[in-house]
A and B are shown apart, each in its own frame.
Chain A
């Protein structure tokens, strides 16, 4: 039971668009365990991103309970949720979302600075970039990087402080298959070497092929939860 990092119980999330209420999640249950490399899949509007946002303490559920590292998120203030995001979660966004005026190294360093890291943060940031083979790109700004390079830097930023849980929303959506595969290999290696847990929302079959577990949503509910046995060396390319 101690391995459960995320516990989602009967969660509902409604959005109000004018007079219309959209039920994005309708009593969803999910457990995420330590070391999962979990892909949440489903058609558009199935609730993937909404679920990821609730787990990432970026939004609050309309009903039910979302518990992350044993903390009930609905009981946390806005400030405490921000602190949780900063100190314990890593985020990778679909559109990279690097700070455009900072170099790759500074982007990674920025998160460490937000966390209150001391004078060694530059070395730490550099070592993360080196570990992800991005050292030579460290002095480039986002507009000097390709999409794949930007997304790898975004992953470096997300994992720089060694968070226990990394949430990635459609991380390969803007990448070609070669870059997407390189990114997934990198994240998988991070999971293995640093004991991290990854949750992806995705449409990409490639991500599913790398996932250790695939949860499928439809109409705001889990319709399947498949545990896969493929190890890190058993990936196969899905065309």
Chain B
């Protein structure tokens, strides 16, 4: 704990050359603000991205036949899916489990056909926040030949509710599969295949179309807490009904996305590094100039009997105050940025003069509209980085002070 006068002297010394102190404070504050702003944007993107991945697209855990991920062949099905679902749902950590069927088809409204994908789902099992049809999603009268189509898909082909959609594909036996379905509504989804190509129908309708019995291509599982994913995977892998199947945590299902999330973290670390360097340059420059200018004063203090350790503490406290005030201002600016943008979101496209649009990456829809988000850990990372920088930046001045002889310093 610094003595009262150490704090007092350190604080007041910052006011001796206000321009220099303000310059250093600005460098630190801008660095912290830049870090927080970028972190907020990246978090906004990353969290939406991650929620979509572990939400409707992949879930926390997936079950499917071993070759399914590579081949996506329609006949690679899991049999007796109801028994599997019953066993999976009996696990205490499983919150939701739903079977899905995917089949590429040609769809047509009139004479022209277009590429589409039949997505067979259990509407009841998908009606949760992380499902394909979360509460509030318009579903019309799904089932008995009534289907939903993806919002992008509907927009592209001018499909409106009530239209009839002819679907032609291949069933599990290799024969022609065909059916006529009525569009109940369109559905917006963060899952690209649903949004842009999807004809969403009940499992029963899909099974009828594709000549399947109680089969499905995939089971998507959500656990109650993401910390228990790996344990749940281990338990389910040992379950008798799933013994011949692949039970994978989401990270293994979409390694590219994991790599992208890792890249976001790496990017944030680079920005943090920039903050670190800006703060170090600002504080080190200020402290070096300040200590060189005050050599005579240090000599006087040493003459009075003040120990070098006390002087070192004085300089350190000064640097830490400078750093923390700077990082405090930067954090406040970052929080203001968050307050202003987190509700309305920040639209990159609008900033560039265009309209909001969505792009797809690895099966996910990503919008140009991002809602910035900050965590305490982001603010803390900047504070800790600047605090450490403050300590590092005074090493040289302290080494110099410790070597000072009172009389030599007084002659300066």
Q: Which of A21-29, A92-100, A227-235 contacts B (4 or more CB under 8 A)?
A: A92-100
A31 within 8 A of B: no
Given A58-B406, A58-B407, A101-B12: A113 and B5 interface contact (C-beta under 8 Å): yes
Instruction: Report how many A-B pairs have Cβ atoms within 8 Å.
Output: 60
B369 within 8 A of A: no
Contact of B304 among A59, A100, A111 (CB under 8 A): A111
Bound Cα distance A102, B314 (Å): 14
Indicate if the CB atoms of B303 and A102 lie closer than 8 Å.
no
Indicate if the CB atoms of B4 and A113 lie closer than 8 Å.
yes
Indicate if the CB atoms of A102 and B9 lie closer than 8 Å.
yes
B307 within 8 A of A: yes
By beta carbon, the residue of chain B nearest A50 is B407
Contact of A99 among B4, B301, B307 (CB under 8 A): B301
Indicate if the CB atoms of A93 and B300 lie closer than 8 Å.
yes
Indicate if the CB atoms of A102 and B302 lie closer than 8 Å.
no
A108-128 contacts to B, CB under 8 A, are: 109-111, 113-115
Q: Which of A4-12, A63-71, A78-86, A215-223 contacts B (4 or more CB under 8 A)?
A: A78-86
Bound Cα distance A20, B15 (Å): 43
By beta carbon, the residue of chain B nearest A98 is B300
Task: Please name all residues of chain B whose beta carbon is closer than 8 Å to the beta carbon of A99 when the two chains form the complex.
Answer: 9, 297, 301
Task: Please name all residues of chain A whose beta carbon is closer than 8 Å to the beta carbon of B300 when the two chains form the complex.
Answer: 93, 97
Indicate if the CB atoms of B16 and A85 lie closer than 8 Å.
no
Task: Please name all residues of chain A whose beta carbon is closer than 8 Å to the beta carbon of B163 when the two chains form the complex.
Answer: none
Bound Cα distance A53, B411 (Å): 13
A198 within 8 A of B: no
B13 within 8 A of A: yes
By beta carbon, the residue of chain B nearest A83 is B305
Task: Please name all residues of chain A whose beta carbon is closer than 8 Å to the beta carbon of B16 when the two chains form the complex.
Answer: 100-101
B306 within 8 A of A: yes
Contact of B5 among A87, A110, A157 (CB under 8 A): A110
Task: Please name all residues of chain B whose beta carbon is closer than 8 Å to the beta carbon of A47 when the two chains form the complex.
Answer: none
Contact of B305 among A82, A93, A97 (CB under 8 A): A82
Indicate if the CB atoms of B407 and A59 lie closer than 8 Å.
yes
Per DSSP, chain B at the interface is: helix
Indicate if the CB atoms of A106 and B406 lie closer than 8 Å.
no
Bound Cα distance A67, B406 (Å): 20
Task: Please name all residues of chain A whose beta carbon is closer than 8 Å to the beta carbon of B296 when the two chains form the complex.
Answer: 97
Query: A89 → chain B, closest Cβ, in Å?
Result: 8
Per DSSP, chain A at the interface is: helix
Interface string of B344-360 (1 = CB under 8 A from A): 00000000000000000
Indicate if the CB atoms of A58 and B303 lie closer than 8 Å.
yes
Interface residues on A, range: 20 to 34
B3 within 8 A of A: yes
A91 within 8 A of B: yes
Indicate if the CB atoms of A101 and B4 lie closer than 8 Å.
no
Query: B49 → chain A, closest Cβ, in Å?
Result: 52
By beta carbon, the residue of chain A nearest B10 is A101
Contact of B302 among A82, A84, A101, A115 (CB under 8 A): A82
Bound Cα distance A97, B302 (Å): 12
B72 within 8 A of A: no
Query: B323 → chain A, closest Cβ, in Å?
Result: 19
Indicate if the CB atoms of A86 and B9 lie closer than 8 Å.
no
Interface string of B286-303 (1 = CB under 8 A from A): 000000000011001111
Query: A87 → chain B, closest Cβ, in Å?
Result: 7
A56 within 8 A of B: yes
By beta carbon, the residue of chain B nearest A102 is B9
Contact of A91 among B4, B8, B303 (CB under 8 A): B303
Bound Cα distance A85, B9 (Å): 21
Task: Please name all residues of chain B whose beta carbon is closer than 8 Å to the beta carbon of A110 when the two chains form the complex.
Answer: 5
Query: A151 → chain B, closest Cβ, in Å?
Result: 14
Indicate if the CB atoms of B304 and A106 lie closer than 8 Å.
no
By beta carbon, the residue of chain B nearest A79 is B307
Bound Cα distance A49, B99 (Å): 94
Indicate if the CB atoms of A85 and B3 lie closer than 8 Å.
no
B207 within 8 A of A: no
Indicate if the CB atoms of B307 and A82 lie closer than 8 Å.
yes
Task: Please name all residues of chain A whose beta carbon is closer than 8 Å to the beta carbon of B297 when the two chains form the complex.
Answer: 97, 99-100
Indicate if the CB atoms of B306 and A86 lie closer than 8 Å.
yes
Indicate if the CB atoms of A85 and B304 lie closer than 8 Å.
yes
Task: Please name all residues of chain B whose beta carbon is closer than 8 Å to the beta carbon of A97 when the two chains form the complex.
Answer: 296-297, 300, 410
Bound Cα distance A114, B306 (Å): 7
Task: Please name all residues of chain A whose beta carbon is closer than 8 Å to the beta carbon of B5 when the two chains form the complex.
Answer: 102, 106, 109-110, 113
Indicate if the CB atoms of A114 and B305 lie closer than 8 Å.
yes
- Other contacts beyond A87-B305, A110-B5, A114-B310: 18, CB < 8 A: A56-B303, A58-B303, A82-B305, A82-B306, A86-B304, A86-B305, A86-B306, A91-B303, A97-B296, A99-B297, A100-B16, A100-B297, A101-B8, A101-B13, A101-B16, A102-B8, A106-B8, A157-B304
A→B interface (CB under 8 Å): 53, 56, 58-59, 79, 82-87, 89, 91, 93, 97, 99-102, 106, 109-111, 113-115, 157
Which 9 pairs of residues, A with B, have the shortest CB-CB distance? A86-B305, A101-B12, A85-B305, A97-B300, A58-B406, A58-B407, A110-B5, A82-B305, A113-B5
11 A-B pairs (CB sep. < 8 Å) = A79-B307, A82-B307, A84-B305, A91-B303, A93-B410, A97-B300, A99-B9, A99-B297, A102-B9, A111-B305, A114-B306
